Amino acid sequence: MENTSFKTLEIPEPWYWTNENLSDQLQIELNKDHILKGKIVKTVARRQDNDDILIHYSRLQNYIKTGKMYLKTEF
């Protein structure tokens, strides 16, 4: 069972929690050498004012912010 209790926390605007699955779109737009290519990730939040998304990669037990269209990744 997935732990989504963190979604009860406030997130700064313009971010919002989402259940929208953007992982397929992310995989299409990643280049073949990207560290997340082929990895199973879950979208947890996105921005209202651009295409940034916050994803969870359970293998790292960490969250990664990435722009789903221009792919800027921060660890």
Residue 5 lies in a domain: no
DSSP code string of 5-53: GGGGS---TTEEE-----HHHHHHHS-TT-TTTT---EEEEEESSSSEE
Instruction: Count up the domains in the chain and report the number.
Output: 1
Domain residue limits at 43: 14-67
Instruction: Report which of 56, 4, 2, 21 is spatially closest to residue 66, judged by C-alpha positions.
Output: 56
Residue 74 lies in a domain: no
Give the angle 32-37-39 at the CA atoms, nearest 5°: 160
User: How many CB atoms lie under 10 A from the CB of residue 8?
Assistant: 7
Residue 72 lies in a domain: no
Residue 75 lies in a domain: no
Return the pLDDT at 61.
59
pTM to 2 decimals? 0.66
The pLDDT tens digits of the residues spanning 29-69 come to 888 998 889 988 888 899 999 888 888 877 765 556 666 54
